[in-house]
């Protein structure tokens, strides 16, 4: 989003899902459609997570069940939130699967993930494209989590069709996935907000600054602008987006 309206507007994307205005010094990061789908994934995930944790332990039940009215209502709604999450993920996978395909450079990124976490490696290596290796891992974990939640969840919804052992296997994988996704969600929340300032605006308003792009996704910067990220950064006084 442009923070001031006296900045020159350079591009506007209009779709039935909404509008994205790109101002001078910005790049289009996520279309309105991508943003709507992402926030639907986030909303359905949080509803499924909360209602699921209400059923997970008596301590959490006392805290969370009242949000849904009662424990019985949380139990009733949880599978439907799960199905809504899986459908939203399906749309997200359709939109992002191609850009998220795993490449050798992503393995390289994973080897340096510690530098990324401690921010000793800024700007990001020149080969980092629209999404880095960590983002791709999060994407695929989320996609497979939807499959695992759905398959095990449908069986747990109708437990009479399962043997006792099969039911415990379903419980184990359903709950394990819930805990993995909870951990992943906190990391994602941090990286998407205060961890890397300037990232959230891409998902709220669709645009990022050029400095953000040449700092965190240099190969993507080169791809969308046709310009050299290092030279442009140097010409701008070596400015990094922090």
List residues near ligand HEM by CB under 6 A.
29, 38, 41-42, 45, 131, 135, 138-139, 142, 185, 188-189, 192-193, 199-200, 202-203
C-alpha 85/C-alpha 145 separation (Å) is 10
Nearest distance in Å: CB 160, ligand HEM? 30
- Report helix angle 133-157 to 71-96, nearest 10: 140
Residue in the structure block whose two tokens are 């506007």: 12
Nearest distance in Å: CB 131, ligand HEM? 6
Q: Please check whether residue 46 is in contact with residue 39, taking contact to mean a CB–CB distance below 8 angstroms.
A: no
**Of 28 and 167, CB closest to ligand HEM:** 28
Nearest distance in Å: CB 61, ligand HEM? 22
* Shortest-Cβ-distance residue relative to ligand HEM: 192
Phi, psi dihedral angles at 158 (to 5 degrees): -120, 70
**Of 92 and 169, CB closest to ligand HEM:** 92
**Of 2 and 162, CB closest to ligand HEM:** 2
Nearest distance in Å: CB 97, ligand HEM? 11
**Of 77 and 100, CB closest to ligand HEM:** 100
Q: What 8-state DSSP symbol labels residue 101?
A: -
As given in the structure block, the two tokens for residue 239 are 């400015």
Radius of gyration over alpha carbons of the chain, in Å? 21
> Which residues does 156 contact at the CB level (< 8 Å), separation at least 6?
167, 170, 171, 174
**Of 21 and 132, CB closest to ligand HEM:** 132
Nearest distance in Å: CB 5, ligand HEM? 23
């Amino acid at each position: 989003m442009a923070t001031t309206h006296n900045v020159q507007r350079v591009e506007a994307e209009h779709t039935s899902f909404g509008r994205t205005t790109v101002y001078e010094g910005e790049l289009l990061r996520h279309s309105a459609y991508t943003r709507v789908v992402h926030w639907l994934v986030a909303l359905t995930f949080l509803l499924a997570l909360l209602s699921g944790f209400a059923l997970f332990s008596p301590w959490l039940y006392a805290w969370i069940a009242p949000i849904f009215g009662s424990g019985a209502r949380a139990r009733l709604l949880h599978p439907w939130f799960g199905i809504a999450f899986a459908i939203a993920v399906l749309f997200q996978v359709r939109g992002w699967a191609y850009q998220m395909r795993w490449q050798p450079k992503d393995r390289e990124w994973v080897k340096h993930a510690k530098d990324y976490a401690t921010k000793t490696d800024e700007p990001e290596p020149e080969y980092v494209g629209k999404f880095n290796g960590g983002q791709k891992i999060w994407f695929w974990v989320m996609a497979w989590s939807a499959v695992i939640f759905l398959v095990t969840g449908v069986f747990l919804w109708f437990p009479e069709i399962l043997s006792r052992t099969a039911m415990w296997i379903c419980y184990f994988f359903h709950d394990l996935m819930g805990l993995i996704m909870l951990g992943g969600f906190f990391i994602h929340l941090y990286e998407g907000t205060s961890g890397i300032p300037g990232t959230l605006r891409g998902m709220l308003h669709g645009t990022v600054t050029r400095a953000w792009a040449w700092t965190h996704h240099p190969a993507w910067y080169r791809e969308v602008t046709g310009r050299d990220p290092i030279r442009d950064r140097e010409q701008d006084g070596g400015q990094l987006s922090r």
